[in-house]
Amino acid sequence: MLVLLDNARDSAQVTPLLPSSGTVLVTSRQRLGDLIARTGARPVPLAVLPAEDSRHLLETVLGTPVVAAEPAAAAELARLCGHLPLALRLAAANLGDAGGLADLARELADGDPLAGLSVDGAEESAVTTAFSVSYRALPAEHRLLFRRLALVPGQTFTAPAAAALTDVPEGRAGQQLKALAAAHLVERHLPGRYRFHDLLHSYATGRVTADDSAEAGDAARRRLLEHYLTTADAAGRRLIPHFLRLPRPEPAQVFAGTEDALAWLDTEWPNLAAAVEHAKAREYAWHLADALRAFFHHRGHHTEWIDTATTALTAAQAAGDRQAQAAMRLSIALAGVNSGRYADARTHLTTVLDAGLAADWPAGRAAALNNLSAVHQRLGDPHEAIACGEESLRLCEELAIPGVTMALANLGFACGQVGELDAALRHFGRALEIAERDGARFSVAVVLADLAHIHRDRGDAEAAEFYERALTANREVGYQYGEAAALSGRAVLEARAGDDTRAWADAAEAVELTRRIGDRGTEASALAALGEVCVLLGRPAAEHLTSALDIARETSFAWCEAAALTGLAEAALAGGDADQARLHGEAATKLAARAGYRPLETRVARVLAKLPA
CATH number of the domain to which 509 belongs:
1.25.40.10
Same domain, 474 and 453: yes
Q: Last residue of some domain: 86, 109, 128?
A: 128
Kindly state whether residue 187 falls inside one of the protein's structural domains: yes
Same domain, 117 and 151: no
Total count of domains within the chain:
5
Kindly state whether residue 416 falls inside one of the protein's structural domains: yes
Q: Last residue of some domain: 83, 109, 128?
A: 128
Greater confidence, 470 or 339?
Answer: 470
Query: CA-CA distance, 347 to 22, in Å (whole number)?
Result: 78
Kindly state whether residue 486 falls inside one of the protein's structural domains: no
Kindly state whether residue 412 falls inside one of the protein's structural domains: yes
Nearest residue to 10 via CA among 26, 23, 25 = 26
Query: CA-CA distance, 368 to 159, in Å (whole number)?
Result: 39
Q: Last residue of some domain: 128, 159, 185?
A: 128
Same domain, 379 and 436: yes
Kindly state whether residue 548 falls inside one of the protein's structural domains: yes
Enclosing H/E stretch for 452: helix 441-458
Given a contact cutoff of 8 angstroms between Cβ atoms, the answer to whether 163 and 173 are in contact is yes
Query: CA-CA distance, 392 to 395, in Å (whole number)?
Result: 5
**pLDDT band, residue 274 (cuts 50/70/90):** very high
Greater confidence, 278 or 495?
Answer: 495
Query: CA-CA distance, 331 to 296, in Å (whole number)?
Result: 10
DSSP annotation of 197: -
Query: CA-CA distance, 187 to 185, in Å (whole number)?
Result: 7
Query: CA-CA distance, 245 to 446, in Å (whole number)?
Result: 19
3-state helix, strand, coil in the chain (%, to 5): 75, 5, 20
Same domain, 371 and 474: yes
Same domain, 116 and 161: no
Kindly state whether residue 102 falls inside one of the protein's structural domains: yes
**All residues at 6 or more sequence positions from 169 whose CB lies less than 8 Å from its CB, including other chains:** 163
Query: CA-CA distance, 292 to 298, in Å (whole number)?
Result: 10
**pLDDT band, residue 76 (cuts 50/70/90):** confident
**All residues at 6 or more sequence positions from 179 whose CB lies less than 8 Å from its CB, including other chains:** 138, 142
Same domain, 63 and 34: no
**What pLDDT is attached to residue 114?**
62
CATH number of the domain to which 182 belongs:
1.10.10.10
- Classify the phi-psi angles of 576: left when phi > 0, otherwise alpha if psi is within -120 to 50, otherwise beta: left
Query: CA-CA distance, 87 to 151, in Å (whole number)?
Result: 24
Query: CA-CA distance, 199 to 177, in Å (whole number)?
Result: 18
**What pLDDT is attached to residue 189?**
85
Greater confidence, 250 or 99?
Answer: 250
Over residues 242-249, mean pLDDT = 90
Same domain, 526 and 594: yes
Given a contact cutoff of 8 angstroms between Cβ atoms, the answer to whether 82 and 48 are in contact is yes
Burial class (CB in 10 A: 0-12, 13-18, 19+), 139: exposed
Kindly state whether residue 469 falls inside one of the protein's structural domains: yes
Same domain, 183 and 149: yes
Same domain, 443 and 375: yes
> Considering only 22-31, 407-416, 456-465, which range has the smallest mean pLDDT?
22-31
Quote the mean pLDDT of the chain. Answer: 90
pLDDT, tens digit, 9 for 90 and up, residues 218-227: 999 999 999 9
Same domain, 181 and 150: yes
DSSP annotation of 610: T
Kindly state whether residue 145 falls inside one of the protein's structural domains: yes
Which residue range(s) make up the domain with 6?
2-39
**What pLDDT is attached to residue 117?**
59
Greater confidence, 187 or 345?
Answer: 345
Whether the pLDDT of residue 388 is over 90: the answer is yes
Same domain, 395 and 444: yes
Whether the pLDDT of residue 296 is over 60: the answer is yes
Same domain, 146 and 206: yes
Distances (CA, A) of 357 to 278, 330, 349, 388: 25, 11, 10, 17
